[in-house]
Amino acid sequence: MLYERFERVRRLHPLIHNITNYVTVNDCANILLACGGSPIMADDPEDAVEITAICGGLNLNIGTLNQRTIPAMLAAGRRARELGHPVVLDPVGAGASRLRTDTALRLMEEARPTVIRGNVSEIRTLASGSGTTRGVDADVADQVTEEGLDGAVAFAKAFARRTGAVVAITGAIDIVADGERAFCVRNGHPMMSAITGTGCQLSALTAAFVTANPDAPLEAAAAAVCAMGLCGEIAHRRLTDLDGNASYRNYIIDAMYRLTPAALEEGANYEVR
């Protein structure tokens, strides 16, 4: 199943518009090229709508908001929604400031994202801010653990039902859920947290996967999460005593470039609940 989702990315080369974190924009472009997609970056409001129209999918990342990019994101999100293009929302830092939280909530309302991808704290902020899943999210911890996995899965499914989006909560254990099913993914390596931007790269990657697989957003998002985690594992095995986090970042991109659909199918470590 995951094999097919990745194979379509490799074959269709989806063109993805990214309005993303300027700290990691180069890495996002390179991970898209490595997986078989193509990146475009346009964050001026006068440019963003036209670029969105010629792309297959849209990736919105609020990591470095400013008064130019917010209108661009909203306008691009509305245009993608009008055209029926997949949208991935990465609510970086939602809950850390009112601007970030309010912007993420507006994007949820106006763009109606296909996938919302963030850590558990960010997703919980959006659930609380939109007045949803109260009761379900009360016992969700700041980290998804084996002991708290059932509760986190229930929370992700409830939020997905309310929003109509696939919800991807990433951490030590990743959860990718729609209203009925959840993929619990155990790929990845702890060192991935030592690199700025692996989450940003994953959101760009997810946009490529869901754009290439519009009929199966849940499976496509799960395949992207597995692929990113697997590349983190492969890259870590390549490290020598002289390598650090900068080399690791490059090795992850290299691993994605070399990854095959068959290797993803073999190496993906997940269960469906």
Residue ranges covered by each domain of the chain: 2-272
In the block, tokens 């346009």 appear at 42
> What's the rounded mean pLDDT across residues 151-164?
96
d(CA 245, CA 264) in angstroms, rounded, equals 24
Question: Which pLDDT band holds residue 134 (cuts at 50, 70, 90)?
Answer: very low
Q: pLDDT tens, 176-202?
A: 999 999 999 999 999 999 999 999 999
d(CA 36, CA 45) in angstroms, rounded, equals 27
Under 8 Å between Cβ of 188 and 178: no
Q: Which two tokens stand for residue 123?
A: 């997703």
Question: Which pLDDT band holds residue 136 (cuts at 50, 70, 90)?
Answer: very low
Q: How far apart are the first and last CA of the chain?
A: 16
Does the structure show a pLDDT above 80 at 49?
A: yes
Please indicate, yes or no, whether the overall pTM of this predicted structure exceeds 0.85: yes
| % of the chain residues with pLDDT over 90 | 90
What CATH class does 2-272 carry? alpha beta
**Nearest one of 198, 204, 187, 190 to 250, comparing CA atoms:** 198
Using DSSP's 3-state secondary structure scheme, residue 1 falls into: coil
Question: Which pLDDT band holds residue 129 (cuts at 50, 70, 90)?
Answer: confident
In the block, tokens 């790929």 appear at 187
| % of the chain residues with pLDDT over 70 | 95
Q: What local confidence, expressed as pLDDT, does residue 135 receive?
A: 39
Q: Which residues pair with 154 in a beta bridge?
A: none
**Nearest one of 250, 222, 257 to 236, comparing CA atoms:** 250
In Å, what is the CA distance from 55 to each residue of 50, 78, 249? 9, 14, 27
